[in-house]
Structure 1
């Protein structure tokens, strides 16, 4: 781990210990919209179902948006904000640029909800609901999402570079990143299990294929047969647009095969395989348990998603309910006020990005 990364992680940990980052269930409820927008879940699900017809990756992309939102300033929808005179968008942070996608589907959900329930459902809650529905639609577990989040009015690009994990982090670094937002080692393994569906671009794992950590050789924790497959997808010095399934066995199904893959050294990302191949790691027993017991994985995943979804939430009169997920309300006006949170990035980056 680089010294700069150590310092950055230490600062985040200090912020957590001082109370700057917290996990809170205050004022959140699974029945929050029962009287004001009773069809919020069905509307969200319908939009995602339609998106899946043309983009089987979108479910994994939506849960990733929720993850990247919650790890930076809490679950406040800040990941959705565009650049403005006063906001530096988190979308362009190094850990997000060409990595997060799905903004157009969030726009479509917001448009549908504004039509049914104007000025009611926050963008932060849309991300939480969309994450659950995406997992459920991929044959994973369902759960009652706690709702009532309000949207933040600013973004934190620097925080995104500090607070989000990298695909090349060591296990110790991953643990610190999760601890900084109040999540433990079991949460780390459970939430990593979301890599049971979706795709990743070559740059996120090609460092393992040819010259791992400047050794001149591939990562020795990568199965040799799988290595050859990945080298075919991502030739050395080739283009960066190649995609590989995060789960090589059931890439569009939410199941526990991700953990079985790790046992066979078939984890795609370095951070995936670190969970099982780090000598003496306490994560190994958790991986083994989840590999042998899908119900245990599902139960732990739901618990961890609920914890993550409650990181530093804004409730009550805090923040706002954005009319447009890409702009704070002071800047949301005119005929496009309900539409296209990512209008300047949707065409250019939406379908080139990672997971």
Structure 2
């Protein structure tokens, strides 16, 4: 009994320490962190990005995904941007093979460096870029907390271990989000980032050609939609062809994602799975109503802020890199 009480006491103390550490990290993030040290930096980032978005309408989806993959990989510390010379960095992991937007972040960082050398982190620029990508595509305008610092260790294993799988069910997805202190609601809300962008055929080909391992097709797919996907891919190994993640409005940040899921035209297995759980299915159905858009926008802003707190480095932890792809020795 004494040993049991001791273990319980030790566990409680550990939890208190962990919660306190997490609270401290969040407390060190703040709105307007650079108001004194680099005034106007958020406007500078936005202006740079607006020009890039106008030239490439696919970039907003790329930058939103870039921020997500960085935060889930090893915390929101820009280690996804680090290059390796031997294939060991996060960006070299298979789940990151189609991630894009690195050059855009690097270009914005160069502009920021010219104005405020070694002040603004790459991690904060990524958070700002994701926010601006959402707003540019007619999504909500929300504030982001800043004050992150950059990490200098990038491991392929982190991406392989922590990024949610494209074919995960709700139980699996909820676990991956819980590991990052995110809720089931955060999961079903942030999944709607798939209202933008595309996926390569191998990401969903099993649903078309080998759903249960017997050369069959996912019966939950809308028949016409499945026929179109099969025509686009032409086979399970076609890595060149892509399909919009949102079958309704793939370049606009809106409720089209939920409408796609609700009508069995979700591209990825992880998106289709939201209908198989009563709680997530209820949220999906609620968001198919056009009048729910304001609620969705508010929910998305909250969940993005929550995600932006994952594993942050603040204070004296980490560094401020001059270039995002190379850490300071």
TM-score normalised to structure 2 length: 0.90
Alignment correspondent of 2:318: 319
SS of residue in 2 equivalent to 1:105: helix
Instruction: Please give the residue correspondences for 1:213-252 in structure 2 after superposition, counting only pairs within 5 Å.
Output: 213-237=212-236, 239-252=238-251
What displacement does 1:57 show?
A: 1.4
SS of residue in 2 equivalent to 1:95: helix
Tell me whether 1:88 sits opposite 2:88 in the alignment.
Answer: yes
1:318-339 superposed Cα distances (whole Å, 9 cap, x missing partner): 1110111011112xxxxxxxxx
Q: Is the 8 A contact 1:16 1:181 kept in 2?
A: no
**For 1:16 and 1:100, how far apart are their aligned partners in 2?**
35
Alignment correspondent of 2:29: 28
Tell me whether 1:183 sits opposite 2:168 in the alignment.
Answer: no
**For 1:217 and 1:71, how far apart are their aligned partners in 2?**
32
**For 1:185 and 1:41, how far apart are their aligned partners in 2?**
31
Alignment correspondent of 1:203: 202
Alignment correspondent of 2:4: none
Query: How many correspondences in the alignment?
Result: 312
Instruction: Please give the residue correspondences for 1:1-355 in structure 2 after superposition, counting only pairs within 5 Å.
Output: 19=18, 22=22, 24-84=25-85, 88-96=88-96, 98-237=97-236, 239-276=238-275, 278=276, 280-292=277-289, 293-330=292-329
CA gap of 1:57–1:259, structure 2 versus 1, over 3 A, is: same
What displacement does 1:238 show?
A: 5.5
**For 2:270 and 2:15, how far apart are their aligned partners in 1?**
23
Superposed CA RMSD in Å reads: 2.1
For structure 1, the 5+ residue unaligned runs are: 1-14, 331-355
CA gap of 1:34–1:294, structure 2 versus 1, over 3 A, is: same
CA gap of 1:152–1:250, structure 2 versus 1, over 3 A, is: same
Q: Is the 8 A contact 1:289 1:296 kept in 2?
A: no
What displacement does 1:215 show?
A: 3.2
What displacement does 1:22 show?
A: 4.8
Q: Is the 8 A contact 1:22 1:181 kept in 2?
A: no
Q: Is the 8 A contact 2:229 2:243 kept in 1?
A: yes
What displacement does 1:99 show?
A: 2.3
Alignment correspondent of 2:6: none
Q: Is the 8 A contact 2:205 2:236 kept in 1?
A: no
**For 1:222 and 1:282, how far apart are their aligned partners in 2?**
21
Q: Is the 8 A contact 1:138 1:254 kept in 2?
A: yes
**For 1:38 and 1:224, how far apart are their aligned partners in 2?**
54
**For 1:29 and 1:326, how far apart are their aligned partners in 2?**
25
For structure 2, the 5+ residue unaligned runs are: 1-13
SS of residue in 1 equivalent to 2:199: strand
TM-score normalised to structure 1 length: 0.83
| Larger relative contact order (CA 8 Å, sep ≥ 6) | 1
* Rg comparison, structure with higher value: 2
What displacement does 1:43 show?
A: 2.0
What displacement does 1:306 show?
A: 0.4
CA gap of 1:237–1:68, structure 2 versus 1, over 3 A, is: closer
1:7-39 superposed Cα distances (whole Å, 9 cap, x missing partner): xxxxxxxx9999499574121111111122222
Q: Is the 8 A contact 1:48 1:59 kept in 2?
A: no
SS of residue in 2 equivalent to 1:329: coil
Q: Which structure has the highest helix share of the two?
A: 2
**For 2:15 and 2:324, how far apart are their aligned partners in 1?**
27
